[in-house]
Amino acid sequence: DQQVKQNSPSLSVQEGRISILNCDYTNSMFDYFLWYKKYPAEGPTFLISISSIKDKNEDGRFTVFLNKSAKHLSLHIVPSQPGDSAVYFCAASGRSSGSARQLTFGSGTQLTVLP
């Protein structure tokens, strides 16, 4: 049972336009959500996070939106740059993770920003 789902395996966007990556979750016990970016042959790199008590968090070109009632979050990248091309993972942690607070990841979305 996938608790965190990224239903789009890939997304292509023109340079300078907005990239919107989506993520859905089923476990209402999740209280923190994170986005990671992963380049080939590297480990995931933390991008941005949001607490369940907020609905928006912004950091430079990256904004994460959280809709708790819909159990949906999205990552907006604007403007998109070719260097943003990578696999983006949505992750969640919460009280159901126990003391470990381990992250539960989605399956990732490959973003390609076309020059």
Partner 1 sequence: DTGVSQNPRHKITKRGQNVTFRCDPISEHNRLYWYRQTLGQGPEFLTYFQNEAQLEKSRLLSDRFSAERPKGSFSTLEIQRTEQGDSAMYLCASSLVQNSYNEQFFGPGTRLTVL
Chain residues that interact with partner 1, rule: CB under 8 A = 4, 9, 32, 34, 36, 41-46, 49, 51, 89, 91, 93, 98-108
Nearer to partner 1, 75 or 89 (CB): 89
Question: Closest distance between partner 1 and the C-beta of residue 100, in Å?
Answer: 4
C-alpha to C-alpha distance for 66 and 87, rounded to whole angstroms: 20
Our CA angle for 32, 33, 34, nearest 5°, is 125
C-alpha to C-alpha distance for 111 and 97, rounded to whole angstroms: 29
Nearer to partner 1, 42 or 115 (CB): 42
Nearer to partner 1, 20 or 97 (CB): 97
Question: Closest distance between partner 1 and the C-beta of residue 58, in Å?
Answer: 15
**Residue type for 85, please?**
S
Q: Within a 13 Å sphere around the CA of 43, how many CA atoms are in the beta-carbon half?
A: 1
Question: Closest distance between partner 1 and the C-beta of residue 14, in Å?
Answer: 26
